[in-house]
Structure 1
Amino acid sequence: MLTKALILGISVLPPLPPTTAAHDASLVVYERTGGFAGRNDKVIVDRDGTATVLSAGHLTLTSTELRGLTTDLARITTTWSSSAGCQVADHFTYTISYENWRATRCHEIPADWRPAVDRLDALIDR
C-alpha cells in the first residue's frame, strides 16, 4: 500500500493538528524553544481547560487555574514581536498566540507576559 501511495503521490500520513490559537477550541498556544539544552516546549490550552503539552500529553486545568490563565492573558498589552535578545547565545525564544495576535520574544519577555508565561511553564513542568 505504501509503495502504491508513493507511486501515485498520495499521502498516507494523517493531517497535522492546528498549531495556532486561531483554532476555535484553543485559548492559547505557547512555545518555548532554545536554551543551552535546546528545548522545544509547546502547550495548547483549549477553552474548556484541556491542555496538550508536547512532551507530556494531556492535562486538565482546574476552573481556578483556567480563570487565572485567562485573566493573565487578557492583561497582556505587549502584542508585537521583537528580535531584541535573539543575538544572545543559548537564549530562549517565547511565542504566544492568543485571541487575534501572535508575538515572539527572545531572551527576556515583557513584564506583562510574566504571569501567563509562569503559568504555562508550570504546565510544561507538571
Structure 2
Amino acid sequence: MYLFIKKTTWMVGALAVCLSAVMLLQLFVPAANDRVFAANEGTQPEPANGYLDKLDFGNADSESAHNLKGAFTSVITGFMGETARVSNLRVADGEKQGFKFKPDQNPDNMLAPDLTDAEKQALIDGYVQDQVKRN
C-alpha cells in the first residue's frame, strides 16, 4: 500500500511539472497565425482584442463605418467614460435600429448585445434576445 501511494504521489508531481512547463512555454514561443477565413484564400492577421469586428455605440467614426441607422437616438456617456446610444422611443412598442457587421464565414458567429436596462427586452429579427436564431 505504501509503495502505491509513493508511486501515485510521484506521478502527480511529474504531471504537475509537465503541465506547468507547457503553460510557461506558451509565454516564450509564439504560436503561428494560420487562421483561414472562408471569404479569403490566404490568412489574415489576428483581429484586435479577439474581435473580427466591433461597433462602438456613441463613437461617430465607428457608427458611420457600420452604417448605423436609427432615428430618435442620442449619445450618452456612462460609467468610466464609456459612450452609449439611447433610443428615445416615440411609440410604446419600439422602433427599428440597424447596423452592419463583417462576420467570419463560419456557423459559430455570435452577436452579444450588452443591454443595461434589465426591464426591457431586445428583439432581434423578431426573436427575444435570448432566443436569437442562428443561420
Q: Note whether the superposition's TM-score is higher than 0.5.
A: no
Q: Which has the larger radius of gyration?
A: 2
The alignment's TM-score, normalised by the length of structure 1, stands at 0.27
The alignment's TM-score, normalised by the length of structure 2, stands at 0.26
Q: Which has the higher contact order (CA 8 A, sep 6+)?
A: 1
- Give the structure with the larger helix fraction: 2
